[in-house]
Amino acid sequence: NAGVTQTPKFQVLKTGQSMTLQCAQDMNHNSMYWYRQDPGMGLRLIYYSASEGTTDKGEVPNGYNVSRLNKREFSLRLESAAPSQTSVYFCASTAEWAWDTEAFFGQGTRLTVV
Amino acid sequence: AQSVTQLGSHVSVSEGALVLLRCNYSSSVPPYLFWYVQYPNQGLQLLLKYTSAATLVKGINGFEAEFKKSETSFHLTKPSAHMSDAAEYFCAVSDTGNQFYFGTGTSLTVIP
């Protein structure tokens, strides 16, 4: 099983450029998430989609937009990249909207904004 | 909102020694608690989770954690460290909104 697949794995952007990070899961999960991971700060939630057709802001949504394209795919868009958005981005999914649900993570996208 | 605190951003142990990684949580309601492991250049994967059943939870690769409500702690232990245990470990708590709040992580180094 592929699980959660993220593309690209690495990306370098210039300040002001835009890009979309792609995420797809093949586990028929209902809920999907985007996190960013920064040194000393752990993982912080950017946006999430509890189910197909819904999206909500997380802890750090500024500068990002998301699209839940279908049940499998959840993309993250940076409209005008800033150096502060240099980070490692992880997509995750959970089977359902429940307290005790295990999250499955992709391998991450390492983004550098110069 | 929930929060977790992981004491010690870096922990070093000798191969064969006890591993102890600390996690304390703040919660006004009974939480669901998790430990995730991240190997270099990989995503996170679940080690174990506490969901209000047994307070001592056993996970993969010989790890276990004990939920102590009186201490608001969920420390991760392994009796004997192996070189393959070198990784970053994250404690997490989930709340009513099904959002996971992650700690800042503890990097474990195993010395041969």
Strand, coil or helix: B60:
helix
Each residue of A64-78: pLDDT tens digit? 999 999 999 999 999
d(CA B43, CA B37): 8
Each residue of B79-112: pLDDT tens digit? 999 999 999 999 998 876 567 789 999 999 999 9
Each residue of A89-101: pLDDT tens digit? 999 999 987 767 8
Q: Quote the pLDDT of residue B97.
A: 59
Sign of CA dihedral B25, B31, B37, B41: negative
For B64-98, the DSSP string reads EEEEEGGGTEEEEEESS--GGG-EEEEEEEE-TT-
- Which of B43, B103, B104 shows the shortest C-beta gap to A90? B43
Q: Quote the pLDDT of residue B55.
A: 87
φ/ψ of B63, rounded to 5, equals -85, 150
CB pairs under 8 A between A and B: 59
pLDDT band at B42 (very low <50, low <70, confident <90, very high): confident
Of A25, A19, A30, nearest in space to A6 by CA = A25
Sign of CA dihedral A95, A96, A99, A103: positive
Q: Does A50 touch chain B (CB under 8 A)?
A: yes
- List residues of B whose CB lies inside 8 A of any A CB: 9, 32, 34, 36, 41-46, 49, 51, 90, 94-96, 98-100, 102-105
Q: Give residue A114's identity as a one-letter amino acid code.
A: V
Instruction: List C-alpha distances in Å: A101 to A88, B33, B50.
Output: 23, 10, 11
